[in-house]
Amino acid sequence: MALSPKETDEINSGRLKTSNFSQADVHPTPNNPNTLDWLFVVDTLNFCFWHYENQEGWKVEGYSGYYALCAAINRAVKENSSILDPKFYSTITEDQLKKILRSDTKVEVPLLSERVKCLHEVGAVLQEKFENSFQNVVKEAENSAKILLQLIVDNFKCFRDEAVFKGKKVSFYKRAQILVGDIWACFKGQGIGYFKDLDEITMFADYRVPQTLLWYDVLEYKKDLLDKLNNNVLKNGDLEEQEIRGCSIHAVELLKEYANKKLDKQKINSILIDHFLWDFRRKHAQKILEKGLPFHKVYCIYY
- Known active-site residue 206: yes
CB 60 within 8 A of CB 75: yes
Strand partners, 169: 164
Pairwise CA distance, residues 124 & 107, whole Å: 30
Closest of 72, 85, 91, 196 to residue 146, by C-alpha: 196
Residue 28's H or E segment, with its range, is none
The residues facing 171 across adjacent strands are 162
Amino acid at 203: M
Positive/negative CA dihedral, 175, 298, 253, 256 = negative
**Identified catalytic residue from 37, 161, 182, 206:** 206
Backbone angles phi, psi at 64, to 5 degrees: -120, 165
Residue 166 forms beta bridges with which residues?
none
Mind telling me the catalytic residues?
A: 206
